[in-house]
Structure 1
Amino acid sequence: MAAYGYTPQDIFGRGRGRPGLSRGASTAKYRDPASSATWSGRGRAPNWIRDARNRDRFLIRNQVTA
């Protein structure tokens, strides 16, 4: 690759996925009172909140929303 003057970006592109859809890091929305583990609410739910019917009791209060 270097012998021909190519960079990894030339061959593989700048990143994976569709361009412009990056969300970046998200803040924690839920907290486990027993272990203080947090979850943003995105993706697969962790075991400590997975079976909860009402997730309101796990919400982190005093969050600043935009």
Structure 2
Amino acid sequence: MNRIKEVLEEKGIKQTWLAEKLGKSYNMVNAYAQNRQQPRLEDLYKIAEILDVEVKELLKDRTEL
């Protein structure tokens, strides 16, 4: 499970912007944000870099599950 949606909301960033920067479709980024699909590790690192956060900030802690 990831926190991509929460981090985007905290930073005031739209999923469409992230999709463009990531080179993925809006539908794919939306699937990540809704936890319908999990990004590959490589993509998770790219997302963290784009959003200027640590990768661990994009992941839910076990206590949050």
Q: Same fold (TM over 0.5)?
A: no
Q: Highest relative contact order (Cα 8 Å, sep 6+), 1 or 2?
A: 2
Give the greater-gyration-radius structure (CA): 1
Which is strand-richer, 1 or 2?
Answer: 1
TM-score relative to the length of structure 2:
0.28
Which is helix-richer, 1 or 2?
Answer: 2
